[in-house]
Amino acid sequence: MGSLTVRNLSEDVKKRLRLRAAANGRSMEEEIRVLLAEGAAEAPVAAKAASAAKGDKAPATAAAASQILLIISGGIAAYKSLDLIRRLRERHYAVRVVMTKAAQEFVTPMAVGALSGEKPFTDLFDQHSEFDVGHIRLARDNDLVVVAPATADLMAKMANGHADDLATAALLATNSKILLAPAMNPAMWTNKATQRNLKTLLADGVVTVGPNKGEMAESGEAGTGRMAEPLEIVAAVEKLLGGGTGEKPLSGKHIVITAGPTHEPIDPVRYIANRSSGKQGYAIARAAAELGANVTLVSGPVTLGDVPGVKMVRVESARDMLKATEAALPADVAIFAAAVADWRTANEGEQKMKKDGSGQPPKLALVENPDILATVSKLKSKRPALVVGFAAETEKVIEHAKAKLKRKGCDWIVANDVSAEGGAMGGDDNAVHLISATGMEAKVESWPTQSKDGVARQLVARIATELNGKTT
């Protein structure tokens, strides 16, 4: 078997790969694997990706695919940088990391590499990293440099133009804006030398986020010096890279999502239910809100908390779910991830049913529930431009999903294999196929196995592409 070395690809190809990987929330290596699999299967997605990469009509999420150089210096707050990497990648930023020697005492390059999708750079004189990109390119090939945590020592070196390791050399060589998230002991922060260095750095155009006031990681210490929380740093990054408009791929779009099970009452204390957790629908709501959508989440009874920034409508039965979904329209997109009960009892008892002593159990007559997906798909007015259903199948997944697409009248079906071999049921990973109707033909995209959050992000990114310019 031959092997492929990414650094030997042309700069242009590497850039396109980076954009595509960031738009899909994958590492470059994962993206290459997907591309090869798609190419081998001659899946139509490949053509779409190629045209998007050519810049014919870039996917909307590629707009957000800025490259960030994250420098982690040696402080206890370095553990929070791991979460920062995750949060940045969730938002489709490509993250390349430089770690100082001291940073590696707090977090391992392996953990950083696993989260960023790329081996971190650690050494100015490392032949391999110099050969890979070189410290000058490392400094230049990015849209923003973030230093988190920025220690007192690193700030002092920056203020005085030192360049005795890879981090300081990159900071001195970069033309990009620099965002610092200082983190240190409160006495070190208030020390005149640090404040003098901070003044110099601010005058040089460096931007800071934090430090915050509060308990320090060292026991018994409190004051100003805590590193800003990862989400505060992300907000500062977005402000700096937002290009002034703050426009996100799904800004101004209304998306209605159903999630969870429904409970169908038998009497005031009993009900028919199923085991749906609601996790996939909630993940989609979160991912859609992150891309700027105005989201209404119509949720059946689950134990999950509200999704921040999302309008929550909590319901019990299928009929209530239908009513709430219709009341939430108009919408640009509707996604039906709920596991709606197919049947309800014909006559809900007003009082708790009692055993009558005869030993005969009561007979429960069932009637079919309204099909919310089919109802909304067939609306004459207020039908969302894109209606997406889900299909959990145990066999002939694609064949059955294609039939369901026709029967329900929706535009896309996300189908997954819930047979024991498929492994989706109860597991964290999911392999799905996106079936879309194009004219008379149904088109199938098979996505790689990934986490349910990954499926949510890929689905929402795909929706943004569809709404913002049909690239297929």
Q: Between residues 289 and 337, which has the closer beta carbon with respect to ligand C5P?
A: 337
As annotated, the active-site residues are 274
Q: Between residues 240 and 256, which has the closer beta carbon with respect to ligand C5P?
A: 256
Q: Between residues 240 and 272, which has the closer beta carbon with respect to ligand C5P?
A: 272
CB of 68 to ligand C5P, least distance (A): 37
Residues 423, 429: contact at Cβ < 8 Å? yes
CB of 80 to ligand C5P, least distance (A): 38
Q: Between residues 159 and 456, which has the closer beta carbon with respect to ligand C5P?
A: 456
CB of 392 to ligand C5P, least distance (A): 7
CB of 263 to ligand C5P, least distance (A): 14
Distance of CA 112 to the CA centre of its chain: 18
Residues at the site binding ligand C5P, with contacts judged by CB under 6 A: 258, 318, 336-338, 340, 369, 371-373, 389-391
44: amino acid identity, one letter:
P
Q: Between residues 153 and 393, which has the closer beta carbon with respect to ligand C5P?
A: 393
Sign, Cα dihedral of 385, 390, 32, 237: positive
Q: Between residues 250 and 337, which has the closer beta carbon with respect to ligand C5P?
A: 337
464 phi and psi angles, rounded to 5 deg: -60, -40
CB of 320 to ligand C5P, least distance (A): 12
CB of 371 to ligand C5P, least distance (A): 4
CB of 387 to ligand C5P, least distance (A): 9
Residues 3, 436: contact at Cβ < 8 Å? no
Selection from 321, 312, 138, 149 nearest residue 230 by Cα = 149
CB of 271 to ligand C5P, least distance (A): 16
Q: Between residues 16 and 433, which has the closer beta carbon with respect to ligand C5P?
A: 433
Q: Between residues 137 and 400, which has the closer beta carbon with respect to ligand C5P?
A: 400
> Burial of 178 by CB count in 10 Å (0-12 exposed, 13-18 middle, 19+ buried)?
buried
Q: How many CA atoms lie within 13 A of 250 on its CB side?
A: 28
